[in-house]
Amino acid sequence: MSMEAQLNIEVRSRILEYSLLLERSINDLLLLNLGIYNEKEKTRLFGNKGKLTFQNKIDLLIDIEVLSKEENSKFELLMNIRNKFLHDIDCSSFQNLLHQLDNGIVNRFKKFLEEGQSISDEEACKSACYKIFKTNLETIKKKIQLNKAAKEKKNKLFQVQNEQIIYYIDFISDLLNKVSTASENVELENPKVANLGTKILQILEESVQKLNSESRTNIYEEFFNSNENIKAAFGIKGELKDLPKWDDFNLKNNHKSSN
């Protein structure tokens, strides 16, 4: 038997390929969540000379609550397989590998076997390993999509704010123009001052009614009624138990209740 066959280079190479692809994706996920958008080659920790290990990167993703402990266990499972195949010359097959791992890790590995497959089947174990790799890759892909969706929600909030500001500027400008026009069309003699005041008051009342009836004034209510929207927009991790709700910001409601 050749040395290549004894070392099972084909399996070791496949495991290495899985690991390298995953680490590159993990780098992208970390940079995205850390707000680093420059080329990763220019960063001190994520470039070719970076000193963060794969496990360091996974731990960091857990600390910033991007990965859950359950998701982490699947990454650790593949890393256990990787470390054995790449650092132990005697680990030349999945059967050798499984005899070296503790029962807890072996039981986690068994969950990736197809129904009816045996853990003593080398080809079945290869397929299970690929399934672990694919599961981890899908997890990273989903996390990247969630991050992008969160940024889109934040951008939407800023757009909403800009639209609201522009609306109020236009509204106030229109109001002032109406008041100015009313003033210009009235001769300011004493008998007519009262009439001018009446017209101005009428314009103001109509404007307030318009402001209160516009549906766009409730655009924030829809946004802030969703905890997920708030968390996504402001980068909040965990729950929102102690944060104020929409009613705490709704000045119109508070004003009514105080009268």
Q: Report the C-alpha gap between 23 and 55 in whole angstroms.
A: 10
Please tell me the predicted confidence (pLDDT) of residue 32.
84
Q: Domain check: are 126 and 202 in the same one?
A: no
Q: Domain check: are 132 and 159 in the same one?
A: no
Which residues, including other chains, have CB under 8 Å from residue 48's CB and lie 6 or more apart? 41
Please tell me the predicted confidence (pLDDT) of residue 41.
54
Mean pLDDT by 10 residues, the chain (259 residues): 62 92 90 73 67 88 91 94 90 91 94 94 95 95 89 80 81 76 61 70 73 58 69 60 49 42
Domain stops at, among 100, 128, 148: 148
Other C-beta atoms within 10 Å of 101: how many? 17
Q: Domain check: are 135 and 29 in the same one?
A: yes
Which has the closest alpha carbon to 129: 204, 206, 17?
17
Burial tier of 102 (Cβ tally within 10 Å: 0-12, 13-18, 19+):
exposed
Domain stops at, among 94, 122, 148: 148
Q: Domain check: are 107 and 133 in the same one?
A: yes
Q: Domain check: are 187 and 108 in the same one?
A: no
Q: Domain check: are 232 and 170 in the same one?
A: yes
Q: Domain check: are 157 and 236 in the same one?
A: yes
Q: Which domain holds residue 83?
A: 3-148
Q: Report the C-alpha gap between 118 and 98 in whole angstroms.
A: 13
Q: Domain check: are 24 and 105 in the same one?
A: yes
16's enclosing H/E stretch is helix 9-34
Please tell me the predicted confidence (pLDDT) of residue 72.
93
Q: Report the C-alpha gap between 130 and 226 in whole angstroms.
A: 39
> How many domains, in total, are found in the chain?
2
Please tell me the predicted confidence (pLDDT) of residue 252.
45
Q: Domain check: are 105 and 158 in the same one?
A: no
- The type of residue at 170 is D
Please tell me the predicted confidence (pLDDT) of residue 246.
46
Q: How far is CA 183 from CA 187, 192, 203, 215, 249, in A?
A: 8, 11, 12, 31, 37
Q: How far is CA 255 from CA 247, 249, 252, in A?
A: 11, 11, 5
Domain stops at, among 148, 174, 204: 148
DSSP letter for 114, please: P
Is the pTM of the predicted complex or chain greater than 0.85? no
Q: Domain check: are 123 and 181 in the same one?
A: no
> SS3 helix, strand, coil % of the chain, rounded to 5?
75, 0, 25
Q: Domain check: are 91 and 219 in the same one?
A: no
Q: Domain check: are 135 and 21 in the same one?
A: yes
Q: Report the C-alpha gap between 120 and 94 in whole angstroms.
A: 8
